[in-house]
Amino acid sequence: MFAPEAEYERHGDVQDVVFPCGYTVASDGDTINLYYGAADSSIALAHGSIRSLLAWLDVNGHSEHSHDRRLRK
């Protein structure tokens, strides 16, 4: 969902690292602005749709082999 791809994210003080630092939500209520560090040498900004992220998580955010702790007795 969030991984180093660009050159500035893959090469720097710490190779192949991106890490979120904070976010804001635009006035439309759907656009997320994610501020993140890249390779410990840059700060960057990514934009995305909250609705699209939630839809992706609904499809991909679970494993058939994982067990919900709430269902355990």
> What order do you get walking across the sheet with 42-49 strand by strand?
18-25, 31-38, 42-49
Alpha helices in the chain (DSSP H): 7-10, 50-60
Q: Enter the pTM of the model.
A: 0.73
Higher pLDDT, 41 or 71: 41
What is the separation, in whole angstroms, between the first and last Cα of the chain? 32
Chain segment 10-54, per-residue pLDDT in tens: 999 999 999 999 999 999 999 999 999 999 999 999 999 999 999
